[in-house]
């Protein structure tokens, strides 16, 4: 029906501000960890710590990507983007997922080449172990903070960044085990830890990229969510049926459209009011829904044999009917009902046009025989209106 309700500009700004604050915290933590891991990993001869340091550097890049995306997605809707810019978050999530895929694949490749080279591995020093332990603790704490903010804002991109951070904590734990094994004399464990970390990063990137692709190709909500919206629409007074309910995501929000069936003989304005009522119910009971486009149907139009478009419009039909009612007074109003593959016509006359109900019935009987010449018209009814 009318334009969907939009989030107030102040709320959009607050959401963007909180998301960026969380991201800047992530930037600070990742910057410190990146420098510590790269420097200590190089000095302490730990390939897994260097690999994790490169991963943390990719986190910095993703943090700046989040900052840019949240700013862009908070820009109000305009003529070129009437639904807003929320899908910038989705596109950024796809970029983040692909970057993780590439980083994971690169770490796997490098670790595999080093394992095959059978070179003499330099001994790993104790400082690498403590930096790895510090990384685990810092990353887990950062994850808990980011996921709290992401759930509060219902941000897919912040959730992706938080999950990325949790993957960092898990991979850092693998690095701790690998470095610990190397310190005990099994130097190859450091490379195996780097390879396992690469696989974990690759798997996480694939999941994020796939989820973003599904949203960009307008994959619908899961059946449970769709059924909840369907139940809300069907419970609206005046809605007799529902079909073609379609949903799609746009970042942290949902867009939907539906065809509702109403009594075919009510006025256009009453049908519009029912549709607006159904729309308002969905927006009220499902806060994640940005807008619902409600189409009003007088019948289930999914059946092709009942398609109203196969029947002639008023401009074609009235010239066929006018000769049949040429001996009657000019009607005040003509209402056409396109139902069940045929047309029903209501003619409205002033009450003074007919002497009594007997003459009205006689006219209807006479018109019924004439309608045989127009098979697309099921019935023609005469109605008398009283003066206001």
CB 15 within 8 A of CB 153: yes
pLDDT mean over 352-361: 64
Quick one: fold of 223-302? Alpha-Beta Plaits (3.30.70)
pLDDT digits (tens, 9 = 90+) for 141-155: 999 999 988 888 877
Distance of alpha carbon 107 from alpha carbon 96, whole angstroms: 17
pLDDT digits (tens, 9 = 90+) for 186-241: 777 877 877 877 787 788 788 888 888 888 887 888 889 999 999 999 999 999 99
Residue (of 52, 177, 195, 179) closest to 122 by Cα position = 179
Please calculate the CA angle 137-115-133 and round it to the nearest 5 degrees: 10
Residue 386 has a CB neighbour count (10 Å cut-off) of: 7
| 308-385 has the same fold as 9-216 | no
User: Is residue 276's pLDDT more than 90?
Assistant: yes
User: Is residue 2's pLDDT more than 50?
Assistant: no
Res 286: pLDDT: 92
User: Is residue 35's pLDDT more than 70?
Assistant: yes
Distance of alpha carbon 306 from alpha carbon 151, whole angstroms: 47
More confident residue, 141 or 1: 141
The mean predicted confidence, pLDDT, of the chain is 82
User: Is residue 105's pLDDT more than 70?
Assistant: yes
Q: Percentages helix, strand, coil for the chain, rounded to the nearest 5?
A: 65, 15, 25
312 CB burial (10 A radius; 0-12, 13-18, 19+): middle
Sign (positive/negative) of CA torsion 280, 282, 286, 288?
A: negative
More confident residue, 97 or 229: 229
What are the residue ranges spanned by the domains of the chain? 9-216, 223-302, 308-385
Q: Is the pTM of this model over 0.95?
A: no
Q: How is domain 9-216 classified at the architecture level of CATH?
A: Up-down Bundle (1.20)
Q: How is domain 308-385 classified at the architecture level of CATH?
A: 2-Layer Sandwich (3.30)
Distance of alpha carbon 108 from alpha carbon 119, whole angstroms: 17
| Banded pLDDT at 1 (limits 50, 70, 90) | very low
Q: How far apart are the first and last CA of the chain?
A: 32
Distance of alpha carbon 333 from alpha carbon 14, whole angstroms: 54
3-state secondary structure of 84: coil
Res 359: pLDDT: 67
């Amino acid at each position: 029906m009318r334009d969907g309700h939009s989030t107030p500009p102040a709320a959009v700004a607050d959401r963007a501000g909180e998301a960026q604050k969380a991201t800047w915290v992530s930037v600070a933590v990742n910057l410190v960890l990146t420098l510590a891991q790269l420097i200590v990993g190089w000095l302490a001869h730990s390939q897994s710590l260097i690999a994790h340091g490169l991963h943390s550097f990719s986190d910095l890049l993703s943090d700046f990507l989040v900052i840019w995306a949240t700013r862009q997605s908070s820009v109000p809707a305009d003529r070129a983007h009437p639904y807003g810019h929320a899908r910038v978050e989705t596109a950024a999530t796809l970029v983040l997922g692909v970057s993780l895929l590439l980083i994971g694949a690169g770490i796997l490749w490098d670790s595999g080449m080093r394992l095959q080279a059978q070179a003499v591995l330099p001994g790993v020093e104790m400082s690498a172990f403590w930096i790895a332990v510090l990384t685990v603790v810092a990353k887990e704490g950062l994850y808990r903070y980011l996921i709290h903010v992401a759930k509060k804002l219902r941000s897919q991109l912040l959730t992706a960044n938080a999950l990325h951070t949790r993957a960092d904590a898990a991979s850092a734990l693998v690095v701790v085990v690998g470095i610990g094994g190397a310190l005990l004399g099994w130097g190859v464990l450091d490379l195996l830890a780097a390879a396992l970390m690469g696989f974990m990063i690759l798997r996480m990137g694939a999941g994020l990229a796939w989820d973003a692709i599904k949203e960009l190709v307008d994959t619908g909500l899961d059946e449970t969510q769709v059924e909840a919206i369907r139940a809300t629409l069907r419970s609206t007074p005046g809605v007799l049926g529902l079909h073609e309910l379609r949903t799609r995501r746009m970042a942290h929000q949902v867009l939907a459209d539906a065809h509702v069936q109403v009594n075919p003989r009510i006025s256009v304005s009453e049908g519009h009011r029912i549709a607006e009522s159904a729309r308002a119910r969905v927006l009220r009971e499902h806060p994640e829904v940005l807008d619902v486009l409600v189409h009003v149907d007088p019948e289930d139009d999914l059946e092709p044999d009942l398609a109203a478009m196969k029947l002639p419009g008023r401009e074609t039909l009235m010239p066929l009917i006018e000769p049949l009612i040429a001996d009657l007074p000019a009607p005040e109003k003509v209402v056409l009902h396109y139902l069940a593959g045929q047309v029903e016509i209501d003619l409205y006359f002033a009450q003074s046009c007919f002497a009594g109900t007997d003459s009205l019935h006689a006219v209807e009987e006479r018109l019924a025989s004439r309608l045989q010449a127009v098979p697309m018209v099921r019935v023609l009814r005469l109605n008398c209106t009283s003066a206001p």
